Amino acid sequence: MDGKPFRYISGDLQYARIHPDLWEDRIKRVRGAGLNVVTSYDFGAPISENGDITPVYHVIRDFIQNLTDWKYPPSEIPANNPSTAYGQVTLKRVGSSLVATLSQILETCQATKDPLSFEQLYHGYGFVLYTTTLKVGGEELVTPGVTDYGYVFLNNVYQGVVKARTPHNIYFSAQPGDVLRILVENQGRVDHWRGEYPTLDKKGLFYNVTFGGVLLQDWTQCGVNLTKASIDSLSASFFDQENKEIVESQDAVSTPGVYVGQFNASVIEDTFFNSSGWSKGQLFINGYNLGHYWPVVGPQV
């Protein structure tokens, strides 16, 4: 797409990075998720990623205009698109647990002895929810092959994250019969590799996932459906429930969740989502996926 890391489809040369059998699936997901809005910025560029002309552009234009032997004089600069601030939006949390909420929009699940990759599930991008029941107790979860980012839940209670290129251990107490879930996020594939296709940037849970030193098997894995129709259904269900009972808004929380709010756009103009105060997530407007925000890892506001 636009070569930036904040969509759930990121980078360039997309078709070179996935197996041809996944192309049709990938195109459907792009269209279904409405991926048509930029989400990252090149600081200091002559044209910003929302199309506005910056002061750098004027400097370059003036320089070219003053060249005596330049055959193509600059044209008039069009006006920037008007923009509007729509104010603060009050958000309310959907349900008490992220995985319980996402369970309403899962795709067809597959049960296997060992976890399947995104590619084996034909779920090229986004999120996959992995679930298994612990047969032994313990305190240490080891995930040596998670790509790229995993949110860990025990009995739907958030425990922390595991991610690629960092220590793969996370500690919490669990008993036999407890249900372990890992929501794995694909943060985009690189556009270069060495060797043949099997060495490409695959996503999911790999190698031996253990808890309490025991290999975890008998997994159920389900892709999360993030199409517009799916997100609209989830939002409509929340607002219908909100009309039937009192739903309290929550201040900042430390556990992942789905948050829903409404605002009225009196005029339709460009605007900007300010993610200050939030950590990491994905933004949808009217069911369309605008992309990721992740301000704790770098400037985005």
What would the mean pLDDT of 175-196 be, rounded to a whole number?
82
- Report the range of poorest mean pLDDT among 81-85, 229-233, 245-249: 245-249
Q: How many CB atoms lie within 10 A of CB 7?
A: 25
Give the start-to-end residue ranges of the domains of the chain: 1-89+263-301, 107-223
Mean pLDDT of the chain: 81
User: How much is the pLDDT for 197?
Assistant: 54
Residue 261 CA, distance from chain mean position: 19
What would the mean pLDDT of 196-202 be, rounded to a whole number?
63
Fold of 107-223: Jelly Rolls (2.60.120)
* Structure-token match 């305190």, residue found: 139
| 120's tokens | 């084996």
CB 17 within 8 A of CB 190: yes
17 vs 289: CA distance, rounded Å: 22
Give the tens place of pLDDT for each residue, 40-69.
Answer: 556 788 988 788 999 999 999 999 999 988
Q: CB-based burial of residue 96 (10 Å sphere; 0-12 exposed, 13-18 middle, 19+ buried)?
A: exposed
Q: How confident is the model at residue 253 (pLDDT cuts 50, 70, 90)?
A: low
> What global pTM score does this model have?
0.78
Q: How far is CA 277 from CA 80, 95, 161, in A?
A: 29, 21, 19
Q: How many CB atoms lie within 10 A of CB 99?
A: 22
What would the mean pLDDT of 112-131 be, rounded to a whole number?
93
User: How much is the pLDDT for 5?
Assistant: 40
